[in-house]
Amino acid sequence: MPHELPKAYDPTTIEDHWAEYWVRENLFAQSAEGTGAPYTILLPPPNVTGRLHMGHMLNQTEIDILSRWRRMCGDRALWVPGTDHAGIATQMMVERQLAEEGKTRQELGREAFETRVWEWKRHYGGAILDQMKRLGATVDWSREYFTMDEHLSVAVKEAFVRLYDQGLIYRGAYIVNWCPSCMTALSDLEVVHEEKAGHLWEIRYPVVDADGNETGESLTVATTRPETMLGDTAVAVHPEDERYLKLHGKQVKLPLVGRVIPIVLDDWVSRDFGTGAVKVTPAHDPNDYALGLRHHLENINIMDDKGQINAAGGVYAGLDRYVARKKIVADLEAAGLLVGIKDHTNNVGHCDRCKTTVEPRLSTQWFIAVNKKVNLNGVESSIAGRAIEVVNQEKIRFTPDQYKKTYLSWMENIHDWCISRQLWWGHRIPAWHCADCRKITVAKETPAACSHCASKKISQETDVLDTWFSSGLLPVSVFGWPGFDGKPGSGLTRADFDTFYPTGVLVTGFDILFFWVARMVMLGCWFSADVPMPDGSPRPLSETVPFREVYIHALVRDANREKMSKTKGNVIDPIEIVEKFGTDAVRFTLASMASPGTDIAFNVARTEGYRAFANKIWNSARFVFMNVDRAAEIGINVDPSALGGMPTASPTDPLEARWIVAEFHAVAASVNESLKNYRYDDAANAIYQFFWGSFCDWYLEIVKLRLDFSETADKAATKSALTTLLSVFEASLRLLSPFMPFITEEIWHAIYDGNPPAKSIALTQYPGDDEKVSSSLASSMIEMQEIQRIITTLRALRKDCGVPEGESVSAKIYSNVQRGLRAVGFVPQHQELIGRLARVTELLVVTEPFKGEVTKSEPDFDVSIHYERTIDVPAERERLGKEILKLEKGLDAAARQLGNDGFLAKAPAHVVEGLKKQQAETQLLLDKAKAALASLPQE
């Protein structure tokens, strides 16, 4: 006997209870020994500093729906959670905390600072995962990782050392994007470019002869960053620029500094930019650096880590870069060397984290040579090459598929990956510098001495690795690579890797397509390549991929389709909205709008609507349970074996039973099909229509007729109706469960009153499509649709005539032979059903068209009701008059469209056919309305 549900649906109580239960019971853990096809998903690890935002909520809702669905379909669905140590973000967070105490990390020292970050992580680090737990994500918590965990750090060291030994990691001077505030190099992806109004300063450089004496000639250069002139080591002009032909081979004297530098000729110089002559500062501009390499120019770095002029800047040393700029411009002007200042729009790079203007700066960094070919298992390969090959060969598929092109074009133009960061928080690079021989020793374990000269004077590299280096390794490292021996402390074995790698699908946002997705493909394909298959055979390319599919989801915008941003103040906090409407309603809102390539305009009104949907489900459960209880009182009990699978009906069952079962099979088939194609929206909307429309509005109303608990009841019929009711309801809960996990769990447990066949509805079977059953019941769908149309038309007519809600009237239906309604033949056997739902005492089938009666027409039938008190001829005449006008307008429009040759030439055949059919039907309705008007009694 089902449990009684509280009268009111209260999501908070239900959700807290089940969220805690799912975690406590560890229901979604998967082991290598289980059964079913593995279906693995990695959570894009949120930053350990993170708080849940709408983007996470969408991402997690989508992953959870897929996981729950595939698990219920019998797959071994494994969702692995974790957090990223997030180098810069976390370091900034802790530094801010220190600043409040009046301390700096430098005062603390590296070791103490790291301890402090770990402490911070212990206190605040798990917040976002706790939020995830509350939202009911079906992850395997026993596999939760943190990218700085020991076993993941082992993988990071292994990967670094291997790449170094393969000659794929090198250290080199390079122009990097430097953030003077974060004091670290940034990858290109961490720099945001913005158009900014600035200036172009024109500076005159005097030409000097071989002895360094000014010849009286000069050359004017244009620059947007005048302070960098302190580091100029040449001036460049285009070799064919006629203006400068006479200066070829000469030199200039650098103003304010006095250094004599050459005029070099280079095709790269644009003759149209500024004066056609450019200053060359190889240490502070990527193009100048490349030019410097071509002309063997010296690199003079004039700035320190903080963006202040260093000793190489002479009298300007110690000044901030912008203070120096002002002073240099003033000094040039005083010296008469400033030719002019022009307005100029600059494309300025900013640090993505702190918004400081990035300074291109020459520094020594560590790189991965992603395009360099080396021998990998006997095949000449490069890291990028492999990552391109697997996508070209469709070993990884993208949805929406346009991202395949985006990915490939980025990969094909990829530069070496700068993997070093000048931070204290992260995986410290496992390389040691020797003070004696200056060489580098790279090792997994801290070496005792230099591997080249055996000197003990070695010190570890101070840089840490780019955060994406460790997260790029996650698909292999979370399954135990490289050790597979469960050490140290991971508990993972080789079987974990064999079972769960490659993972099934990666669900993520576009913003980390290059940061993370591409890096996982590069590193995953590279490092898994020499892990043999479980049977010992070499791993084929198709099995090296970190995931077989990538689903890129869209952005969640506000209701006006604006991007959410703190400055605009339109950010929706998912937790706030969950507290107001319940997780189920918020999840359903997101799902109902989620489809490949379409941004979501999050509208709270919609969530309110889905909260009402949850309420509807709750009330329908209460109705079902009330009837199950009443039946039990007279000894009618539903056989539990009728639950848990696909509902069935036999040809002898009443129409509504056959119909609701057929409808359920159809909706289950369409939901499965939609989810296969990531059409969350179609799946959610199909369930919604079924549950609210078919099940609640129609079926529940009809089934009331069959639930007879009186002395004289046909007990077999009542039991059969009750069985269909309960089995379709139970199966609908399972169908809905991945979308609204909490309310379905609550009601499902109540059905079994403390003795459920599984620990959770999430561990039961997902409704599929049983073709045999659905085709045998298909005819009931047409029959029911026609009955529904009759009822809807009768209801509309009642409304038109102002029949009071509670009053029953008698009614008639006419349908002529040619355009006949099949169901007219069935009307006599559905009197009770039609009577109840349309509130008519009787529906009489007549064989003559109506004359002088109040009627409502459909193209294939007409109904009339007998309601004497309301026959108001003038009103009816007016109503029909309006109806005729409307129909005539429709006909005019159709005629215009069908008479338009241009339209006919372009429109697809089925559209034209549809219009013609509609035109014929409108004509018919018009004829009927005119006949009705003519038959009204004359005044």
User: Interface with Zn ion by CB under 5 A: which residues?
Assistant: 179, 181-182, 351, 353-354, 356, 434, 436-437, 450, 452-453, 455
User: What distance in Å separates the CA atoms of residue 380 and residue 375, rounded to the nearest whole number?
Assistant: 5
Question: Smallest distance, Å, CB 193 to Zn ion?
Answer: 15
Question: Smallest distance, Å, CB 184 to Zn ion?
Answer: 8
Task: Name 42's bridge partners.
Answer: 80
User: What distance in Å separates the CA atoms of residue 651 and residue 61, rounded to the nearest whole number?
Assistant: 40
Question: CB-wise, 87 or 647, nearer to Zn ion?
Answer: 87
CA-based nearest residue to 365, from 159, 161, 178: 178
Question: Smallest distance, Å, CB 328 to Zn ion?
Answer: 25
Question: CB-wise, 349 or 647, nearer to Zn ion?
Answer: 349
- Residue labelled with tokens 């109840």: 836
Residues 329/223, Cβ–Cβ less than 8 Å: no
Question: Smallest distance, Å, CB 326 to Zn ion?
Answer: 23
Question: Smallest distance, Å, CB 370 to Zn ion?
Answer: 25
Question: Smallest distance, Å, CB 350 to Zn ion?
Answer: 8
Task: Name 459's bridge partners.
Answer: 433
Question: CB-wise, 169 or 182, nearer to Zn ion?
Answer: 182
Residue type at position 422: Q
Question: CB-wise, 99 or 112, nearer to Zn ion?
Answer: 99
H or E segment to which residue 866 belongs: strand 861-866
- Residue labelled with tokens 């992953």: 63
Question: CB-wise, 443 or 601, nearer to Zn ion?
Answer: 443
DSSP 3-state of 909: helix
Question: CB-wise, 354 or 634, nearer to Zn ion?
Answer: 354
Question: Smallest distance, Å, CB 183 to Zn ion?
Answer: 8
Question: CB-wise, 353 or 886, nearer to Zn ion?
Answer: 353
Question: Smallest distance, Å, CB 403 to Zn ion?
Answer: 29
Question: CB-wise, 94 or 351, nearer to Zn ion?
Answer: 351
In this structure, which long-range contacts are made by residues 317-321, counting pairs with CB atoms below 8 Å and at least 24 apart in sequence? 321/180, 321/227, 321/359
Question: Smallest distance, Å, CB 431 to Zn ion?
Answer: 13
Question: CB-wise, 290 or 354, nearer to Zn ion?
Answer: 354
DSSP string, 49-80: T----HHHHHHHHHHHHHHHHHHHTT-EEEEE
- Residue labelled with tokens 């212990």: 122
Residues 760/752, Cβ–Cβ less than 8 Å: no
Question: Smallest distance, Å, CB 100 to Zn ion?
Answer: 20
Residues 449/458, Cβ–Cβ less than 8 Å: yes
| Residue 777 tokens, joined | 């019941």
Question: CB-wise, 461 or 701, nearer to Zn ion?
Answer: 461
Residues 220/202, Cβ–Cβ less than 8 Å: yes
DSSP string, 745-801: HHHHHHHHTT--SSS-GGGSPPP---HHHHHHTHHHHHHHHHHHHHHHHHHHHHHHH
Chain centre distance of CA 929:
53
Question: CB-wise, 18 or 425, nearer to Zn ion?
Answer: 425
User: What distance in Å separates the CA atoms of residue 62 and residue 196, rounded to the nearest whole number?
Assistant: 39
The contacts of residue 103 (CB under 8 Å, 6+ apart) are none
Question: Smallest distance, Å, CB 221 to Zn ion?
Answer: 30
Question: CB-wise, 171 or 452, nearer to Zn ion?
Answer: 452
CA-based nearest residue to 516, from 405, 677, 407: 407
Phi then psi dihedrals of residue 396, to 5 deg: -125, 130
Residues 117/90, Cβ–Cβ less than 8 Å: yes
Question: CB-wise, 94 or 221, nearer to Zn ion?
Answer: 94
H or E segment to which residue 346 belongs: strand 338-351
The contacts of residue 159 (CB under 8 Å, 6+ apart) are 469, 473, 523, 527
Task: Name 309's bridge partners.
Answer: 303
Residues 629/750, Cβ–Cβ less than 8 Å: no
Question: Smallest distance, Å, CB 286 to Zn ion?
Answer: 19
Question: Smallest distance, Å, CB 455 to Zn ion?
Answer: 4
